[in-house]
Amino acid sequence: MQPKVAIIMGSHSDWETMKESVLVLEALGVPCHKEIVSAHRSPELMVDFAKTAKSKGFEIIIAGAGGAAHLPGMVASLTDLPVLGVPVKSSQLNGLDSLLSIVQMPGGVPVGTLAIGAAGAKNAGLLAARILALRDESLSRKLEEYRTKLREEALSKNDLLS
């Protein structure tokens, strides 16, 4: 089955965060492509990836980046696919630099920006699945089951309050 979601990151050090997107998608049965595509170290690869992503069958791109975090915005400027940006925590500013770089896109170049770090990566995977579920009833049911499980887990913690 051809993956509909591409998960790209600026460097291997981003994998620790971005694997959360993969884990969520795999749990829902959504295959995904994973690749390091650096806006700064391999700009030609980034341009080629963004320009050919749609023709390769991808429908959504999740792009994680830290520091200057140009990857999500640059990719979004080169494709009409939805791009979900995940700010990766940086050692200097705890990911605030990444967040501000991704969220401050000029009008006309949208990037759906998620939270900093692992929670953002997890939610990017869930958001990608929700977008795909608009046309996939089976995936929609899996997402409903996932939400039910989360709710039950949260409510089960009431027993710990005594």
Question: pLDDT tens digits, residue range 105-122?
Answer: 999 999 999 999 999 999
Q: Residue 116: which domain range?
A: 5-160
Domain count, the chain: 1
> Is residue 101 annotated as involved in ligand binding?
no
Helix (H) or strand (E) segment spanning residue 125: helix 118-133
CATH code assigned at 139: 3.40.50.1970
The pTM of this model reads 0.95
- 80 annotated ligand binder: no
Q: Mapping DSSP to helix (H, G, I), strand (E, B) and coil, where does residue 63 land? A: strand
Residue keyed to tokens 């990017």: 124
41 annotated as ligand-binding: yes
At residue 1 the predicted structure's pLDDT band, cuts being 50, 70 and 90, is: confident
Q: Which of 31, 6, 19 is nearest to 118 (CA)?
A: 19
